[in-house]
Amino acid sequence: MNIVEFVKLSLGEWRSQRSAHHLAFQHFEAVTSEIEIIGLDEEDSQVIELCKVNNIDPKLATSPFKMTWEGESDWDDDETMSGSTILVPIPDGDDLTKGKLLREQGYAETIPSIGEYEIVEDGTFILSTKYDRAAAEEKIWFATPNLRFRVSLIKTSNGAGVTTASFSSEIRSLKSSEG
Amino acid sequence: MNIVEFVKLSLGEWRSQRSAHHLAFQHFEAVTSEIEIIGLDEEDSQVIELCKVNNIDPKLATSPFKMTWEGESDWDDDETMSGSTILVPIPDGDDLTKGKLLREQGYAETIPSIGEYEIVEDGTFILSTKYDRAAAEEKIWFATPNLRFRVSLIKTSNGAGVTTASFSSEIRSLKSSEG
């Protein structure tokens, strides 16, 4: 599995169930959401801009995509969480199994981020991102082409402690194949 | 990481947060529990008996252990779920990274089970178990020596579909080091 194949498998609409464990307080949070992932042209102006902001040659952008989500948490029934972000993989030279991932807007902070990704032997995509006051680690893998899982850890900035662990089950929506 | 090291790291008392996703209905279940894992002597009579029931030479038993749990689900506040089981790893010859795992009593059915385990390069323990009417896959890995994660999938018996995915965050209880 390489990043081109991984992004291709990820395109479409997904129905997500996410559970977050806030470890210090043994608190559970449940979130349901709809996620849409669409491929972008490598010459898309948003892709080029995100590369430039990060001082990276836009020619290196490979399989960029846009992710949009809309969800509801059981913490606050009245609030709908929604957003979108552009993600741009920048492979390490000719090696399509690892590199940098530019993100227009991170999960943990509302600023652009650069993560390091690697796709390991069993096909799991692993992303590590350092923020100012935290670090994040995300693992995503496919059980079937229509079912993927995601484990996300939010760590203290030195990486030693995990404050939140969350798990998502993402099922491809039928809508995708109808669209 | 081999099975001897993995079991050794697992010994002690753990405080567990588990979220189950029932995929067809997007239903969430939250379970908190206390888990205790204690090492057993390889010549313990329960270990020898479990080997014999499975027609396996008891001399092959390596790092057997007993797991006890007591938990509460948000599905039924009045009921406490508790139980215990004996687990006996049987390595494949001299290879301590894979083999069979005998279990006195399974999660999905109340009969003894034999699973196949493997510890892969990044230290993740992967267990696959076939039951009469279902199959289970479990991945367990340590984030730190005092924090481990577990992803469990319950599959249809042919392994093609996943009916339930669950995620556990297990934190070592302070009690362990005091005991």
Q: Do B26 and A19 touch (CB under 8 A)?
A: no
d(CA B86, CA B64): 7
Chain A contact set for B30 (CB, 8 A): 19, 28, 30
Residue of A nearest to B166 (CA): A167
Q: Do A17 and B21 touch (CB under 8 A)?
A: yes
Question: What's the confidence (pLDDT) of residue B121?
Answer: 87
Tokens encoding B179: 């005991």
Worst-scoring range by mean pLDDT, A158-167, B11-20, B25-34, B93-102? A158-167
Only one residue has tokens 């760590």, namely A155
- Per-residue pLDDT, averaged over A69-98, amounts to 88
Question: What's the confidence (pLDDT) of residue A99?
Answer: 98
Please give the backbone phi and psi of residue A44, each rounded to the nearest 5 degrees, phi first.
-60, 140
Between chain A and chain B, the number of residue pairs with CB atoms below 8 A apart is 63
- Per-residue pLDDT, averaged over A67-90, amounts to 86
User: pLDDT > 70: what percent of chain B?
Assistant: 90
Residue of B nearest to A155 (CA): B143
d(CA B6, CA B102): 16
A positions 35-94 inside 8 Å of B (CB): none
- Per-residue pLDDT at A78 exceeds 70: no
Q: What's the CATH superfamily of A3-178?
A: Calycin beta-barrel core domain (2.40.128.20)
What pLDDT band is residue A77 in, cutting at 50, 70 and 90?
low
Chain A contact set for B34 (CB, 8 A): none
The CB density around residue A133, as the number of other CB atoms within 10 Å, is 8
d(CA B53, CA B50): 5
Note the pLDDT tens digit of each residue in B119-151.
998 899 999 998 888 899 999 999 999 999 999
Contact in structure between A119 and A7 (CB atoms under 8 Å): no
Residue of B nearest to A153 (CA): B143
Q: Which of B19, B26, B165 sits opposite A32 (nearest CB)?
A: B26
Per DSSP, which regions of chain B are E strands? 12-22, 27-39, 65-73, 80-92, 95-103, 113-119, 125-130, 134-144, 147-156, 162-172
- Per-residue pLDDT at A178 exceeds 50: no
CA distance B10 to chain A (A): 18
Sign of CA dihedral A5, A7, A11, A16: positive
Nearest Cα to Cα of residue B67 among B48, B84, B90: B84
Q: Which of B23, B137, B169, B170 to mutate to test the interface with A (most CBs of A within 10 A)?
A: B169
